[in-house]
Amino acid sequence: MTTDRKAIVSLTITDRGALQAAYMSFVEGGGVFVPTNQAYNLGDTVFLLFGLMDESERWPVPGKVVWITAAGGNSVAGIGVQFTGEKAGNVRRIVEDHLGGLISSERPTNTM
């Protein structure tokens, strides 16, 4: 279900381990898991302010909610945000360059 709801979410990742846990390589165009207790619906449009380790700027990235993890058990509550818009490919490449071989790591992530 797609909604007209729009929100601004912020995520700053400071190390490769956290990036590996947050990155959603299985999402078309790439995406990241954003911890939040705020309620969202699948298909919600969000605007992600994304900061990454040694990069000096935070990127404004349009996105769409494609994953929801409710609070409970050992899971962190949050949403998976698919990168959308014209800069989505650039953001994905930058993230994957930072990750290098960790993309194919067997380490658990926030979504798998």
The answer to whether 67 and 34 are in contact (CB under 8 A) is: no
Residue 91 belongs to a domain:
yes
The string of pLDDT tens digits covering residues 27-67 is: 999 999 999 999 999 999 999 999 988 878 888 999 999 99
On the 0-12 / 13-18 / 19+ scale of CB atoms within 10 A, 86 is exposed
Distance CA 89, CA 83 (A): 8
Report the domain count for the chain. 1
pLDDT in tens, 13-38: 999 888 998 999 889 999 999 999 99
Residue 111 lies in a domain: no
**Could you tell me if residue 70 is inside a domain?**
yes
Q: What is the CATH number of the domain that holds 68?
A: 2.40.10.220
Alpha carbon distance 21, 39 (integer Å): 21
Domain of residue 25 covers 6-104
Q: Is residue 13 in a domain?
A: yes
